[in-house]
Chain A
Amino acid sequence: MDKRPAGRLQVATMDDATTRLAGALAAALRTPLGGDVRIEDLRRLTGGASRETWAFDAVVADGALRPLILRRDFADKGRPTLASLIGIDDDLDRRGEFALFQTLANAGLPVPHPVAFPDQLEELASCFVMERMEGEGLPQRLLREETYAEARRIMPTHIGTVLAKIHALSPAELPHLPERTPARQIDIVRRMTALGPAPRPVFELGLRWLDERTPAAPPQRLVHGDFRNGNFLVGPEGLRAVLDWEYAHIGDPMEDVAFVCLKPWRFGKVDAEVGGFGPRDLFYRAYEEAGGGPIDPETVRFWEVLANLKWGALCVARAMAHLLGVQRSVEAAAIGRRVAETEHDILELMG
């Protein structure tokens, strides 16, 4: 048995790359934080298939401690991303995401405040640093622990209110974001499904169904693009922040409305349609009362089918990455067998 305390163990296992990263961060944060900086407790957090997230504390000259988060693209630059495989080259990069965070924070939206975009050192290519807020983000805990019972009750309302505020921002006042019309989103999903190893009749039928129902001219607003349980920071009192804006784009706001209701993001609480927290009518009402909408159920259904197709194609891609040895794990293998669930949901939605 290893009797060393957890803190010692962490220091003992900090590898060369982590030590170099800590040194680079200390140098890069001198100017933004106004003086000498000591980096403590630098550790990689789990989660995130395409980006790394690190947590650390910056101790500044007067001894004050700043809890911070580092977000950076995978260090393995040689590995093709899903976006590159399907010919998408205009997704937000980390500089764009940082600029968006600045705009959102200035507009008073609940997001972690961005702190620095240090791009002068190799270790810190494609990354940014932001405030580390207190709160819980893990869906399994949020949906099951007693601490969050009251939060669960209020979350559908909080989610609706915040989403309406996000969609109320004028695209003209935002930094440059990729545009994603409904037709473009269908095209992206079609390319994703084409990456799979075998023909999938349900995917093909879903794509045809979408073709026939493409919203003609939806409003063009800021869309979060990954708006779901798992990207919310929550306290016992409710929603504290909306995280992970890397898929933000200009598009149909109903895309976000649909996404947060998707079955995979209910984490087993299937009857609580809004992220496993609670009923859809509370969410819709809060959204419309806060100035969003109006919500057309048929448009939401279009985006739910599209998002399910995208998730299904992503499940196939994760399983293939496992089978090809790109990213092997039992989790990736298991995700491959979740495609049947997605196809079941798509058929149900199409009616």
Chain B
Amino acid sequence: MADDRPNTEELIETVRAFLHDTLLPTMSGHGAFEVRIAANLLAIALRELQQGPAAAAAVQARLTALLGTHDTPAALDAELVRRIRDGEIAVDDRALHTHLREAVRARLAISNPKYLDK
């Protein structure tokens, strides 16, 4: 139920910590490699639960402003791709680049935050 603990985030963190802190030290070779990846995938899922909705809303707001049209996120992306492909937006359009950089940064903050430090 909704009030039961551990909640969704706590469940994911429990399994992530078990994989990384308990199971991983007992393993070696390809098995250890895969357990490390599995723990990292749960860390990504956790960050996405926490940051995903706000990040997606911000991207949609910027994309709506850029394209001047309201639609679902997938439809907005499809429209942006169409305009790039048809040459309706210049390849070096600054507003376009700013939007794409911000959108990629938001996704990296979820999938691999360390990448942004490099």
Where the two chains meet, the residues of A that have a C-beta atom closer than 8 Å to any C-beta of B are: 46, 198-202, 204-205, 208-209, 212, 270, 329-331, 333-334, 337-338, 340-341, 343-344, 347, 350
Q: Is the CB of A337 within 8 A of B38?
A: no
Partner of A344, one of B44, B85, B96, B108: B108
**Does B34 sit within 8 A of A, measured CB to CB?**
yes
Q: Is the CB of B74 within 8 A of A202?
A: no
Q: Is the CB of A330 within 8 A of B37?
A: yes
Q: Is the CB of A334 within 8 A of B40?
A: yes
Q: What's the minimum C-beta distance from A49 to chain B, rounded to whole angstroms?
A: 15
Q: What's the minimum C-beta distance from B110 to chain A, rounded to whole angstroms?
A: 8
Query: Which A residues are CB-close (under 8 A) to B84?
Result: 201, 204-205, 208
Q: How far apart are the CA atoms of A198 and B84 in the complex, in Å?
A: 15
Q: What's the minimum C-beta distance from A268 to chain B, rounded to whole angstroms?
A: 9
Query: Which A residues are CB-close (under 8 A) to B118?
Result: 270
Q: Is the CB of A347 within 8 A of B97?
A: yes
- Contact A347 to B78, CB < 8 A, known contacts A201-B84, A334-B37, A341-B115: no
Q: Is the CB of B100 within 8 A of A347?
A: yes
Q: What's the minimum C-beta distance from A323 to chain B, rounded to whole angstroms?
A: 13
Chain A residue nearest in CB terms to B63: A201
| Closest 8 pairs between A and B when the two form their complex, measured CB to CB | A199-B81, A340-B107, A337-B111, A204-B84, A330-B37, A204-B81, A270-B118, A201-B80
A–B pairs, 24, beta carbons within 8 Å: A198-B74, A198-B77, A199-B77, A200-B77, A201-B80, A201-B81, A204-B85, A208-B85, A330-B41, A331-B33, A331-B34, A331-B37, A334-B37, A334-B40, A334-B41, A337-B112, A340-B112, A341-B108, A341-B111, A341-B112, A341-B115, A343-B100, A347-B97, A347-B100
**Does B1 sit within 8 A of A, measured CB to CB?**
no
Query: Which B residues are CB-close (under 8 A) to A330?
Result: 34, 37-38, 41
Query: Which B residues are CB-close (under 8 A) to A270?
Result: 118
Q: Is the CB of B41 within 8 A of A347?
A: no
Q: Is the CB of B34 within 8 A of A199?
A: no
Q: How far apart are the CA atoms of A329 and B105 in the complex, in Å?
A: 26
Q: How far apart are the CA atoms of A199 and B72 in the complex, in Å?
A: 13
Q: Is the CB of B111 within 8 A of A205?
A: no
Q: Is the CB of A208 within 8 A of B100?
A: no
| Count of residues in B whose CB is under 8 Å from the partner chain | 29
Where the two chains meet, the residues of B that have a C-beta atom closer than 8 Å to any C-beta of A are: 30, 33-34, 37-38, 40-41, 44, 74, 77-78, 80-81, 84-85, 87, 91, 96-97, 100-101, 104-105, 107-108, 111-112, 115, 118
Q: Is the CB of B97 within 8 A of A338?
A: no
Query: Which A residues are CB-close (under 8 A) to B30?
Result: 46
Q: Is the CB of A343 within 8 A of B104?
A: yes
Interface SS of chain B? helix
Q: How far apart are the CA atoms of A340 and B47 in the complex, in Å?
A: 15
Q: How far apart are the CA atoms of A205 and B105 in the complex, in Å?
A: 17
Query: Which A residues are CB-close (under 8 A) to B107?
Result: 340
Q: How far apart are the CA atoms of A334 and B38 in the complex, in Å?
A: 8
- From A333, A334, A343, name the one whose CB has the most chain B CB atoms within 10 angstroms: A334
Query: Which A residues are CB-close (under 8 A) to B74?
Result: 198
Partner of A340, one of B78, B87, B104: B104
Query: Which B residues are CB-close (under 8 A) to A201?
Result: 77, 80-81, 84, 100
Q: How far apart are the CA atoms of A13 and B34 in the complex, in Å?
A: 22
Q: How far apart are the CA atoms of A341 and B78 in the complex, in Å?
A: 21
Query: Which A residues are CB-close (under 8 A) to B37?
Result: 330-331, 334
Not counting A329-B34, A344-B108, a sample of 13 additional A-B residue pairs whose C-beta atoms are within 8 angstroms of each other reads: A200-B77, A201-B80, A202-B104, A204-B81, A204-B84, A204-B85, A205-B100, A212-B91, A330-B38, A330-B41, A333-B41, A340-B115, A347-B101
Chain A residue nearest in CB terms to B101: A347
Q: How far apart are the CA atoms of A343 and B101 in the complex, in Å?
A: 9
Query: Which A residues are CB-close (under 8 A) to B44?
Result: 337
Chain B residue nearest in CB terms to A263: B118
Q: How far apart are the CA atoms of A347 and B99 in the complex, in Å?
A: 11
Q: What's the minimum C-beta distance from B104 to chain A, rounded to whole angstroms?
A: 5
Query: Which B residues are CB-close (under 8 A) to A347?
Result: 97, 100-101, 104
